[in-house]
Amino acid sequence: MKPAPFEYHAPREVDAALDALAEAGAEGKVLAGGQSLIPMLNMRLAAPAHLVDINRVSALAAVETTARGVRVGALARHAQIFRSAPVAAVQPLLRQALGLVAHPAIRSRGTVVGSLVHADPAAELPAVLALLGGSVRLAARGAEREVAARDFFVGPMEAAIRPGELAVSAFFPALGARSGTAFAEVARRHGDYALAGVCALVVLDEDLRVSAARVACIGVGPVPLVLDVSGHGADWASAARAVQDEAEPEADIHATAEYRRHLLGVLTERALRAAARSAGSDDGEGEGG
Amino acid sequence: MSGHEITLVVNGVARRVSVPARRLLSDCLRHDLGLTGTHVGCEHGVCGCCTVLLDGEPVRSCLTFAVTVDGQEITTVEGLAGPDGMSAVQRAFAECHGLQCGFCTPGFLCTVTALLRENPAPTEEEVVEGVSGNLCRCTGYQNIIKAVHRAADLMAEES
Ligand SMILES: Cc1cc2nc3c(=O)[nH]c(=O)nc-3n(C[C@H](O)[C@H](O)[C@H](O)COP(=O)(O)OP(=O)(O)OC[C@H]3O[C@@H](n4cnc5c(N)ncnc54)[C@H](O)[C@@H]3O)c2cc1C
Ligand code: FES
Ligand code: FES
């Protein structure tokens, strides 16, 4: 198993990367962490004529945290975001999710933005972006656009990115006051892609009643399934039934559709409960698991 | 095809080599540099036996192009022993019968070396999670997990 030959480009600046991508057009691919792309090249499921390696574009490694949220540059690795205390303080769901993404050796190289572009329907980070209402910034030679999460994930392994475009960063909005998040999933082995997973955001009002609750589910549809369950108050079991009714999970060699629907109910309840618990505590730190 | 002149600092020694862009780091180490301690199993990131340390961090050498890491430092299983002999992690694996055929062992040793550097006293759960990305098809995981705890003890005693 070896990759087919390709023309290799190793720009040091964003502009040079955009030039290389513009010239390669539909024949070009961005190489970020390579943790999804290189397996595909090794198995020859992909054989792009041009690879634009962005690992030397140090400007893309920037991570900016403000009161509004976290902007993660395209070269920021999973491990770097996982360990970052400032990121966890602004948006704890990133760390909760990244603890479930693959293994340490994959997280050393894999990038957060690469995972969003890759858009695996069982991946954790697309669900995080979708749940929080974040966005991805795409640049092409002479143009830039910011695409909201709901428009970015268009199908399994398919994101709204065009030939010649580079995803330069992603923006994850901050956690508000009296809010909590949690991520719950079931995988065959720790670090495997999940059979099903649910991340939740719960917002309480001043009397600590639920004012908003939302979940994003993975592994049960072509793109993260985002559902508003604010109407169920703190009746998490009823919210879980509503989510089970909405989802249309499919069967594969790992699990039947029925089992996935069952997991979805259990995980929805678990994630909402944990998110509500952390919303009620001051620090806003929820739980992964 | 050939044509990228790169320098890798492997186990402390700068090595210049000319590789095609598609050369995986695993193949560069094994074929170009003759360091066959790094093993190759699945070549899609799942088995972990090709794990090496890149600037101290564990990475899959089968999911890394050699050209991408031009100029960086790589530690392979051959570089884990010090001037005084086997590292604590290596001795613990031998002592606890943490290997049988040895195919998976280079990956485990590199993974565990990085794990204990970051977390010198891991809990049972942290150890299990820490080695969950490495597959062993013959020893079984109980002795491997014992070896990780034993290595942590050895390192604490010897520091
Ligand atoms: C064994 C194993 C287990 C894994 N388990 C999980 C898991 O449980 N959950 C999970 O979410 N992921 C998992 N992954 C995938 C991992 O998270 C990847 O790192 C991630 O999906 C892709 O990020 P990358 O930086 O490696 O991207 P690459 O592999 O470099 O690229 C992936 C795709 O995105 C494109 N791309 C990447 N960055 C950009 C950019 N900036 N602009 C435009 N296009 C870009 C590439 O062209 C390519 O098509 C696993 C991987 C392995 C090998
Ligand atoms: S050979 Fe690299 S992970 Fe299996
Ligand atoms: S010792 Fe044989 S595969 Fe692990």
Provide the sign of the torsion angle of the four alpha carbons A74, A79, A80, A85, taken in this order. Answer: positive
Q: Coil, strand, or helix at residue A209?
A: coil
C-alpha A123/C-alpha A106 separation (Å) is 14
Report yes or no on A117 lying in a domain: yes
| Domain interval for residue B41 | 4-79
C-alpha A28/C-alpha A39 separation (Å) is 17
Site of tokens 């993404």: A101
Are residues A262 and A202 part of one domain?
Answer: yes
Non-local CB neighbours of A241 within 8 Å, separated by 6+ positions: A265
Interface test with B, best of A7, A12, A29, A42 (most B CBs within 10 A): A42
| Residue A117 alpha carbon, nearest atom of ligand 1 | 34
Q: In chain A, which ranges are E strands?
A: 7-9, 28-31, 50-53, 63-65, 69-73, 135-140, 143-148, 153-155, 158-159, 166-173, 179-187, 194-204, 210-218, 225-228
Do A167 and A189 form a contact (C-beta atoms < 8 A)? Answer: no
CA atoms within 13 A on the CB side of B61: 32
Taking the Cβ of residue A82 and every Cβ of chain B, the question of whether any pair is shorter than 8 Å is answered with no
| Residue B139 alpha carbon, nearest atom of ligand 3 | 1
Are residues A36 and A82 part of one domain?
Answer: no
Are residues B73 and B24 part of one domain?
Answer: yes
The tokens of B21 are what?
A: 């862009």
pTM for the whole thing?
Answer: 0.96
Of B21, B68, B133, Cβ closest to residue A105:
B133
Are residues B148 and B127 part of one domain?
Answer: yes
Q: Count CB-CB contacts under 10 A for residue A188.
A: 11
- Quote the radius of gyration of chain B (alpha carbons, Å): 16
Do A217 and A247 form a contact (C-beta atoms < 8 A)? Answer: yes
Are residues B147 and B127 part of one domain?
Answer: yes
- CATH number of the domain enclosing B19: 3.10.20.30
Are residues A187 and A159 part of one domain?
Answer: no
Residue-by-residue pLDDT tens, chain A, 289 positions = 589 999 999 999 999 999 999 999 999 999 999 999 999 999 999 999 999 999 999 999 999 999 999 999 999 999 999 999 999 999 999 999 999 999 999 999 999 999 999 999 999 999 999 999 999 999 999 999 999 999 999 999 999 999 999 999 999 999 999 999 999 999 988 888 999 999 999 999 999 999 999 999 999 999 999 999 999 999 999 999 999 999 999 999 999 999 999 999 999 999 999 999 999 985 544 444 4
Query: Which residue, among A147, A35, A167, A42, has the nearest Cα to A101 in the 3D structure?
Result: A35
Site of tokens 């550097």: B117
Point out the domain boundary residue: B79, B100, B127: B79
Q: How far apart are the first and last CA of chain A?
A: 35
- B149, with CB counted inside 10 A (0-12, 13-18, 19+), is middle
Q: Count CB-CB contacts under 10 A for residue A220.
A: 27
| Ligand whose nearest atom lies closest to the CA of B147 | 3
Subunit contact A38:B133, Cβ cutoff 8 A: no
Question: In this predicted complex, what is the ipTM?
Answer: 0.95
- CATH number of the domain enclosing A244: 3.30.390.50
Alpha carbon B56 to its chain's center: 10
| Domain interval for residue A188 | 179-283
Are residues B114 and B66 part of one domain?
Answer: no
Are residues B66 and B14 part of one domain?
Answer: yes
Are residues B65 and B103 part of one domain?
Answer: no
Point out the domain boundary residue: B55, B79, B103: B79
Do A240 and A231 form a contact (C-beta atoms < 8 A)? Answer: no
Point out the domain boundary residue: A153, A173, A193: A173
Which tens digits make up the pLDDT trace of B119-137?
999 999 999 999 999 999 9
| Ligand whose nearest atom lies closest to the CA of A138 | 1
Query: Which residue, among B124, B130, B118, B121, has the nearest Cα to B157 in the 3D structure?
Result: B121
Are residues B10 and B64 part of one domain?
Answer: yes
Q: Which amino acid is at A153?
A: F
